Structure formats: C-alpha cells, structure tokens
Amino acid sequence: DTAVSQTPKYLVTQMGNDKSIKCEQNLGHDTMYWYKQDSKKFLKIMFSYNNKELIINETVPNRFSPKSPDKAHLNLHINSLELGDSAVYFCASSLLWGGPSSTTDTQYFGPGTRLTVL
Amino acid sequence: AQTVTQSQPEMSVQEAETVTLSCTYDTSESDYYLFWYKQPPSRQMILVIRQEAYKQQNATENRFSVNFQKAAKSFSLKISDSQLGDAAMYFCAYREGGSEKLVFGKGTKLTVNP
C-alpha cells in the first residue's frame, strides 16, 4: 500500500483554468504539507496542516488554496493557473507537529504531481 | 533565515567506489535536525539518513553515512560501494527544532558509472 498518494501524477492544462491536486496518507500522521519543485529542482514548502489546521503558509499567491477535509487528506486547489505555476508539486506527511523540543520526525513524500500550464 | 547550500551541482562516481556529497547550512539555533533525501528519476523523495544536532555520533544507514561537523555547520553524505541504483538527485535539508518546516538545498545530481 502506498503511504502517501497523490492524484493525478500528471496534469496538463491551459492558462486561466482552475485545477485541484489530491493527496492522501494512510500512515495515521497528524501533519501534512505541500511543496513546490521548480524546473531547477529547487524544493520549497508552500503549506502545512496539523490536524486540519493551517500551520505554515509561506509566501504563496492566494490563487493557491489548500483544503484539509480530514487528517488523512490535504488537497491543493489552484485558481486562474499561470505559466509560472508549472512545476512538480509534492505532498508529504509526518507523525507529529514539533513542540519546543520536538523529537526527530521524518516527512514522507508522495510521488509528486507534474503540472504543466500551456 | 536558515539556508542550506550544496556546492556541487553534479557529481559522478564509478560503481563500487565511494563518493562524498557536501552540504553546509547556516543557523543560529542549537536545536535542529538535518536530513539527506534522494530523488531518483521516478521523482519520489526518499529519506536516506537523518541526524539530530544534539548527537555527536554520526548517523549511519548501511552504505550511507554522514560527517556532521556542528561547529563548521557541515553535513556531508558519504556513499560507500556505490551502486547503479544510487544515481539520483540528492537533497540536503534542515529542520529547526519546534518546527516542521524543511529547508532544502538545491540538490546534487549523482551519476554512477558502470
């Protein structure tokens, strides 16, 4: 069974469209993330949710809206797609949200979704 | 802000040989964690090894080991007995204690030659 799954794996769409990427984890983790990997392979965090609550919100256009219906799912909706949105988007999850002295915790990544905006 | 630097965009190694990938980081924190992730052509991000900053002992996972130099803020990855399946992008990452935000370096592309 896949621990962190994303759908779709590939997404090709026209500029201006609205699209969603879904993410599900079956690890029983409390925290989920979205990362963006650009064409130069640079990986940067976008959002993080803990128990359905938004924890991290980096400088991301408000065209991007994460939605967490439950702890096991974190979907990414993108409005009015632009050429610069073309990238690989990774979902990840980890067991716990870190406290002041959090123990080491590992983030488990999904297979990625390659989004191409034409 | 914390930064992670991987100064080698590309590296190559002969099969069965040893290679070391470099990583330096910048932080004023004392509680943090360091990771190496592997990204093969399949795109999946796979955790290779992790190190807690408070531990002096270098982490080891089979053929993978790190050289953690806390004072120098250096965290290099050594791959012994390189195999063709080790060919991938390798990313060094930093996480501050109390945060789940991973900060990644720009990656090193490793080629393994038969």
pLDDT of A20 higher than 90:
yes
Mean pLDDT, rounded, for B70-90: 96
Chain A: residue nearest B41 by CA? A111
Residue B10: list chain A partners with CB under 8 A: none
Give the pLDDT confidence score for residue A95 in this predicted structure.
80
Q: Which two tokens stand for residue A106?
A: 């590992």
Cα B54 versus chain centre, distance = 17
Mean pLDDT, rounded, for B98-103: 82
Chain A: residue nearest B49 by CA? A106
State chain B's mean pLDDT as an integer: 93
- A103 vs B35 pLDDT, higher one: B35
- B79 vs A99 pLDDT, higher one: B79
Identify which of B39, B98, B100 has the shortest CB distance to residue A94: B100
Q: Which two tokens stand for residue A66?
A: 């994460």
pLDDT of A97 higher than 70:
no
pLDDT bracket for residue A74 (50, 70, 90): very high
Give the pLDDT confidence score for residue A105 in this predicted structure.
67
Mean pLDDT, rounded, for A64-84: 94
CA quadruple B88, A106, A65, A12: dihedral, nearest 10: 20
Block residue for tokens 């007995």: B81
DSSP state for residue A19 in the 8-state scheme: E
Burial of B28 (0-12, 13-18, 19+ CB in 10 A): exposed
pLDDT of B45 higher than 80:
yes
Q: Between chains, do B50 and A88 touch, taking CB under 8 Å as contact?
A: no
Give the pLDDT confidence score for residue B42 in this predicted structure.
80
pLDDT of A98 higher than 60:
no
Residue B104: list chain A partners with CB under 8 A: 42-44
Q: Between chains, do B101 and A111 touch, taking CB under 8 Å as contact?
A: no
Mean pLDDT, rounded, for A37-46: 90
Distance separating alpha carbons of residues A107 and A29, to the nearest angstrom:
10
pLDDT of B62 higher than 70:
yes
pLDDT bracket for residue A103 (50, 70, 90): very low
Q: Between chains, do A88 and B43 touch, taking CB under 8 Å as contact?
A: yes
Contact A18, A78 (CB under 8 A): yes
pLDDT of A102 higher than 80:
no
Give the pLDDT confidence score for residue A1 in this predicted structure.
59
Give the pLDDT confidence score for residue A104 in this predicted structure.
42
